[in-house]
Structure 1
C-alpha cells in the first residue's frame, strides 16, 4: 500500500474591504512562507476567504471568493462583522482535522508550524491570554453580561479573557465555535457596543472545557500602533509588490520587524529637553514629529515617518480640539523645533497642512 500522507494543517485568513486589509494579509502570508523551514519538510495549506481575489494572484494559496450576500448571512442576525470569523473556521474544520484562523494585521516571527504544534484535541490556541474577567468591572462586558453568565454558570471573575487574533482548534472541538456563535447571537442585543464581543464569547465557550494556549512568541499582532506597522508593510509592498516571493522580498521580510521605531535614548532625551521651550500642550506633538524625522538605519522604519506625523497631529487634536493649519505652521517655526527638523520641516509642514 502507498504511504498515506498526513493531513496538511490549514492556515486561514478572512480579508474584506479596503485595500489596507488585503495588503496586511499578503504580507502576513509571505511572512509565513518566509519562516517555513522547507529543508525540514515543513508544509501547510493557506486559504483566504475574500471579496477581492486579485491581490493574492501570485501567491501559492487557495482563495475563496465571498460575495456580499454570503458575508451578510455570516454576520446575521445582528450584522456583527466579527461573527464571520467563527463561521469560516467552522466551515474549514468540517473538511480538515486541524485549522488556525489568523487576523490580517499579523506577521510571523517563527515558523507557522509552531502554531499547529500547539493545536490539539482539548486545546484552544489564541493569540494572547488576557487578564481575568473580573479584573475590569467597569467594562461593558462585565457590567451588562456578568450577572447573566454567572447565574447560568458560564463565566465567573476567574475566567481568562483571550485575544482572538489567532484561533486554532482541532475538528473534535469545533463545537466550541457553535457555542460561541450562539452566545454572540444571544448577547449582542444586550451589549451592542461591545466591540470585542466575539473574542469574549470565544473565552466563555472555552472556559472550563478547553486548555487555552497563546502564541505571542510566534506572531506579532499589531493591533496597537497600527499606522506605523502598516507604513512598514506598505513600504515593503512598494519595493516588492511586483514579485512577492523573490529572494530579495523574502530577505526583507525580517526587516519589517516588530519594533516600534524610536530614536536612541540619548536622542529622545535631547528631544525632551528641546521641547521644554515649547508650550506644554505642544511638547508631545514636537517629540512625535522628531521621532518620525530620525534617520533610522532600517529603510522600513524610515517609512514610518508620515505615520508618526499623523499620530502627532491626532494626539494634539485630542488634547486641544481642532488644530488649524496656521497653528501647525506656527509651531513648526519655533526656532528650536525648526532647527531640529532641518530640511525635513518642509516635508512635515506640507504633510500636516494638506487638505484633510
Structure 2
C-alpha cells in the first residue's frame, strides 16, 4: 500500500472485475470531484484499490493495483468476497485517522466533505439505517443467528440494520472492523446464502458501541434498478470518457440524476389505452416497452431505453415463463404491438432478440 499524508481524509474505492464496476467507480469519483469545493480539495485524497488501473488514468486518484492472490486472501477463509471491504478499510485506517469506503454503484448529490463531517469518534457512518433485526423473522440471518447473538449479548430484535454502501470510521474505532470480520468468518457457514451478511455483521459490531449516522442526502446508492442507472452512466462515459473532468463533463454529471425516468401520467394513460389492443398477457409488456420509447428531454434518461426494454422482457418471462425467440418475434409483430411501438419496434426487436440468444 502506498503511503499518503496522514492528515487528509481518505475516500476509498474497491473496484475489480467486469468493466461495469470500473465505469461505476469512475463516474462516482467524478461526481465527488464535481461537488467538491476547490478549497476543500486539499483536505481529501481518493484511493482506488483495483485489478485494472487503466480506467483511472485521467483522474486525480492514487491507484493501488491488487493482484488475485491479495484479493483471494482478503476473502478467506470462505471465499466471501464482501469480506474484502472490511479488510481494506481496516488497512487504510492503520495509516490514516479517518476514512470512508464507498461502493462503486454510487454517485454524489453534495460535497464529499459532508461525509467526513459525520465521521467521528464513537460514530459509524453508513449509507442508511434500515429496519430492526426482528422485523423480518423469516430471514436466514434471524433464524440461524438470533439465539447465538442473544446468548453472547451481541444483538437483540431491536438492533438497527445498516446499509454498507458507505462505511466511515475513525482510526480509534477501527476495532469495529476486526469484530465484523471475525463474525463473518464464524457465521458464514451458518448463513452463506445471506447476501447481506457483511453489512449485518457490521451492524452487530457497532450495536451499543457506536452511534449510527447516514448519508442518503449526500450519496445516491443505486443498488436497486442498477440497469437503468448504469445505462445513464455509460452514456455519460461515451460522451466524456476521454475528458472526464472537463467543464462540459462536470455539467453533465448533474444531469445524471437519481430519478428513474417515467413518462408523464397522461402518456402512461395513453399507453394503457394502446395496450388494450394486445392479448391480455402482453399488455403490461407493451406498456413497459413504451417507457423506454418516450422522448425524455434529458439525454441520459433517453439512454435508459434498452434497460427498460430488457426489464420489460424480464418481467414478462417471470410472469409466464421464458419466451422463445420465435414467440418473442411474433409478439412484437402483433398488429397491436406494431401500432403501440411505431417506428421503435424494429429497434426493440433487434435489441431483445439479440439478448434472447445470448
Q: Same fold (TM over 0.5)?
A: yes
| Number of equivalenced pairs | 352
CA distance in 1, matches of 2:58, 2:42: 21
CA distance in 2, matches of 1:57, 1:323: 43
Q: What is aligned with 2:89?
A: 89
Q: In structure 2, list runs of 5 or more residues that go unmatched.
A: none
Q: What is aligned with 2:113?
A: 113
Task: Tell me, yes or no, if the aligned pair for 1:129 and 1:160 is still in contact at 8 Å.
Answer: yes
Task: Tell me, yes or no, if the aligned pair for 1:36 and 1:43 is still in contact at 8 Å.
Answer: no
Pick closer, same or farther for the CA change 1:81–1:123 going to 2, 3 Å.
same
Task: Tell me, yes or no, if the aligned pair for 1:36 and 1:42 is still in contact at 8 Å.
Answer: no
Answer with 182-191 or 264-273: which moved more: 264-273
Q: In the alignment, does 2:207 pair up with 1:213? A: no
Task: Tell me, yes or no, if the aligned pair for 1:42 and 1:113 is still in contact at 8 Å.
Answer: no
- Measured against aligned partners, the alpha-carbon deviations of 1:67-107 in whole angstroms (never above 9, x if no partner) come to 00000110000000000000000011011111000000000
- Structure 1 residue 272: deviation in Å? 1.9
Aligned-CA RMSD value? 1.3
Q: What is aligned with 2:101?
A: 101
Task: Tell me, yes or no, if the aligned pair for 2:13 and 2:25 is still in contact at 8 Å.
Answer: yes
Task: Tell me, yes or no, if the aligned pair for 2:255 and 2:298 is still in contact at 8 Å.
Answer: yes
- Structure 1 residue 39: deviation in Å? 4.8
CA distance in 2, matches of 1:281, 1:122: 55
Q: In structure 1, list runs of 5 or more residues that go unmatched.
A: none
TM-score (normalised: structure 2)? 0.96
Q: What is aligned with 1:320?
A: 320
Q: What is aligned with 2:70?
A: 70
Task: Tell me, yes or no, if the aligned pair for 2:40 and 2:113 is still in contact at 8 Å.
Answer: no
SS in 2 for 1:220: strand
- Structure 1 residue 40: deviation in Å? 6.0
TM-score (normalised: structure 1)? 0.96
Task: Tell me, yes or no, if the aligned pair for 1:93 and 1:171 is still in contact at 8 Å.
Answer: yes
CA distance in 1, matches of 2:140, 2:232: 34
CA distance in 2, matches of 1:305, 1:226: 13
- Structure 1 residue 41: deviation in Å? 6.2
- Measured against aligned partners, the alpha-carbon deviations of 1:303-340 in whole angstroms (never above 9, x if no partner) come to 10001111111111111112012222222233333223
- Structure 1 residue 205: deviation in Å? 0.2
